[in-house]
């Protein structure tokens, strides 16, 4: 799968997340202090909709809405139980003012 468009940069300001759906994959693309990070919208614990819950902007983790695991948005690694495995991360870039994510 090639790079796919997420959003114009100005529509995804710091502290915001946007969900992207492509085929079987859904990812959350976060703007943390001007840097873009993408993680799969599926918790490694029990497939919860990870990117549809709260997230801590300062600490940079997403809170799974199903059982509350904290997942590092930059690395995909779990910071708290009940998740113990990392979630998938995806490269991001900005091309011509558009945030893109590589889902290949
Ligand atoms: S499904 Fe995310 S913590 Fe259980």
**Looking at the predicted structure, is the pLDDT value of residue 1 above 90?**
no
Q: Which atom of ligand 1 is nearest to the CA of 43?
A: 2
Total domains present in the chain: 1
Q: What separation in Å is there between the alpha carbon of 94 and the centre of ligand 1?
A: 31
Task: Tell me: cis bond preceding 82? Omega within 30 of 0 counts.
Answer: yes
Are the beta carbons of 38 and 89 closer than 8 angstroms? yes
Are the beta carbons of 40 and 88 closer than 8 angstroms? yes
**Looking at the predicted structure, is the pLDDT value of residue 104 above 90?**
no
Q: Mutate which of 28, 40, 46 to test ligand 1's pocket (most atoms within 8 Å of Cβ)?
A: 46
The answer, yes or no, to whether any atom of ligand 1 lies below 6 A from the CB of 83, is yes
What average pLDDT does the chain have? Answer: 96
Q: What is the pLDDT of residues 4-36, one digit of tens each?
A: 999 999 999 999 999 999 999 999 999 999 999
Q: What separation in Å is there between the alpha carbon of 42 and the centre of ligand 1?
A: 9
The answer, yes or no, to whether any atom of ligand 1 lies below 6 A from the CB of 49, is no
Determine the average pLDDT of the residues in 66-80: 98
Q: What separation in Å is there between the alpha carbon of 82 and the centre of ligand 1?
A: 7
Confidence category of residue 2, pLDDT binned at 50, 70, 90 = confident
Write out the residue range of the structural domain in which residue 73 sits: 3-102
Are the beta carbons of 64 and 45 closer than 8 angstroms? yes
| Backbone angles phi and psi of 81, in degrees to 5 | -70, 160
pLDDT for 46 equals 98
Are the beta carbons of 39 and 87 closer than 8 angstroms? yes
Are the beta carbons of 45 and 66 closer than 8 angstroms? yes
pLDDT for 93 equals 98
What's the whole-model pTM score?
0.96
Instruction: Say which CATH number the domain at 95 has.
Output: 2.102.10.10
Determine the average pLDDT of the residues in 60-88: 98
pLDDT for 62 equals 98
* DSSP 8-state assignment for residue 12: S
């Amino acid at each position: 799968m090639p790079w796919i468009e997420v959003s114009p940069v100005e529509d995804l300001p710091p502290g915001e997340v946007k969900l992207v759906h492509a085929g079987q994959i859904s990812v959350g693309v976060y703007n943390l202090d001007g840097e873009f990070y993408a993680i799969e919208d599926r918790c490694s614990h029990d497939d919860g909709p990870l990117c549809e819950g709260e997230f801590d902007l300062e600490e940079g983790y997403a809170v799974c809405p199903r059982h509350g695991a904290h997942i590092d948005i930059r690395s995909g690694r779990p910071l708290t139980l009940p998740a113990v495995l990392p979630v998938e991360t995806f490269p991001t870039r900005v091309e011509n003012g558009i945030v893109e994510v590589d889902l290949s």
